[in-house]
């Protein structure tokens, strides 16, 4: 009987270990611009944000420890208008591995300039769906769901729908409850949390989301095995993104795509056949003119 009980305990521990949390998030809080003698506050802030991101169960998906999504929050505190109130700009980055290589592809990156939140060292960061507790936890939950949704889209066609639905719920609740905080409403700016999730759930962006799957599963994951075919697939994705950009110029998620992928796309086509290199240059320089000088390298022999 004792042996059976021991076996059950071992199996239970193994089962828990097999279902790790979804995110492996590195958090950095930079407080250099804040005039405060209490630097411990920022150390604790960083620790508690990292704890929430990494210990919260954000979905019912089963993740092995090695499958957790690597991501990063670089939180640059810019102002403390009053004690306990902070403004910040934040870079959110997530990566996913490319099959058969040691390469990690940047899947999503976004600089959010609309972070404003209250925090004190007695504050516990807790999150529950459909419950608004603070603007900080809402922003963290939004990006957790967005990162998971993007990752799921890259591994399965339109696989991120459930996570994006949860991100939308966070936006709706924060817009109605946290009315004094920016970033949750359409009129706040044209590149904020509202527009990111609006783009991803807009039927006109379906081809973009399908392109995330094609680019990663049929492009990057195939580069080691068949680079020429992989590049052809990525060119098809770029053609679709180009069309979408003409229909929806300046869309937040399209800008985010090129912020994440411009260097990767350049490196992918540097060694392509001349015709593919020219096609890539034409599409990239037209769709992403901000990085045109970078893509000019594709014209060099």
Residue 124 confidence (pLDDT): 87
- Residues of the chain predicted below pLDDT 70: 1-19, 178
Question: Number of folded domains in the chain?
Answer: 2
Of the three residues 170, 201, 232, the one that is the final residue of a domain is 201
My answer on whether 194 and 225 are in the same domain is: no
My answer on whether 132 and 84 are in the same domain is: yes
My answer on whether 113 and 262 are in the same domain is: no
My answer on whether 128 and 256 are in the same domain is: no
My answer on whether 197 and 263 are in the same domain is: no
My answer on whether 96 and 245 are in the same domain is: no
What values do phi and psi take at 112, rounded to 5?
-100, 115
My answer on whether 183 and 63 are in the same domain is: yes
My answer on whether 171 and 244 are in the same domain is: no
Of the three residues 158, 174, 201, the one that is the final residue of a domain is 201
Q: Which two tokens stand for residue 269?
A: 């086509």
Residue 203 confidence (pLDDT): 97
Residue 100's region, left for phi above 0, alpha for psi from -120 to 50, else beta, is left
Residue 285 confidence (pLDDT): 97
Torsion of CA 185, 54, 101, 160, to 10 degrees: -40
User: What sign for the dihedral angle of Cα 154, 192, 41, 122?
Assistant: negative
Could you give the CA distance from residue 128 to residue 53 in angstroms, rounded to a whole number?
A: 13
My answer on whether 180 and 134 are in the same domain is: yes
Residue 9 confidence (pLDDT): 37
My answer on whether 25 and 123 are in the same domain is: yes
My answer on whether 30 and 177 are in the same domain is: yes
Of the three residues 201, 228, 245, the one that is the final residue of a domain is 201
Q: Is residue 10 part of a domain?
A: no
Among residues 120, 118, 151, 137, which one has the least CA distance to residue 22?
Answer: 151
Residue 179 confidence (pLDDT): 73
Q: Is residue 12 part of a domain?
A: no
Please check whether residue 185 is in contact with residue 207, taking contact to mean a CB–CB distance below 8 angstroms. no
Residue 216 confidence (pLDDT): 98
Residue 37 confidence (pLDDT): 75
Residue 284 confidence (pLDDT): 98
Residue 19 confidence (pLDDT): 61
Residues spanned by the domain of 288: 214-301
My answer on whether 97 and 218 are in the same domain is: no
Q: Is residue 16 part of a domain?
A: no
């Amino acid at each position: 009987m004792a042996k059976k009980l021991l076996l059950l305990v071992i199996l239970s521990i193994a089962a828990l270990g097999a279902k790790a949390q979804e995110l492996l998030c590195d958090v950095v809080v930079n407080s250099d611009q804040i005039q405060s003698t209490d630097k411990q506050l920022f150390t604790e802030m960083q620790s508690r944000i990292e704890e929430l991101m990494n210990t919260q169960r954000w979905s019912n998906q089963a993740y092995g420890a090695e499958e957790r999504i690597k991501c990063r929050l670089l939180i640059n505190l810019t102002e403390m208008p009053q004690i306990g109130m902070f403004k910040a700009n934040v870079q959110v980055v997530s990566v996913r591995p490319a099959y058969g290589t040691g390469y990690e592809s940047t899947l999503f990156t976004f600089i959010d300039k609309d972070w404003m939140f209250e925090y004190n060292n007695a504050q516990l960061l807790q999150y529950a769906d459909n419950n608004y507790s603070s603007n900080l936890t809402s922003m963290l939950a939004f990006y957790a769901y967005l990162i998971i949704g993007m990752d799921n889209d890259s591994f399965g066609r339109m696989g991120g729908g459930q996570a994006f639905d949860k991100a939308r719920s966070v936006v709706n609740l924060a817009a109605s409850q946290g009315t004094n905080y920016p970033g949750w409403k359409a009129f706040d700016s044209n590149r904020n949390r509202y527009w990111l999730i609006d783009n991803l759930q807009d039927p006109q962006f379906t081809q973009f989301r399908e392109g995330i799957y094609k680019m990663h599963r049929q492009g990057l994951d195939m580069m080691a095995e068949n680079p020429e075919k992989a590049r052809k697939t990525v060119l098809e994705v770029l053609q679709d993104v180009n069309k979408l950009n003409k229909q929806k110029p300046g869309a937040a998620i399209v800008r985010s795509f090129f912020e994440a992928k411009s260097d990767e796309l350049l490196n992918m086509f540097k060694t392509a056949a001349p015709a593919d290199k020219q096609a890539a240059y034409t599409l990239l320089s037209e769709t992403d003119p901000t990085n045109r000088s970078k893509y000019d390298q594709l014209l060099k022999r």
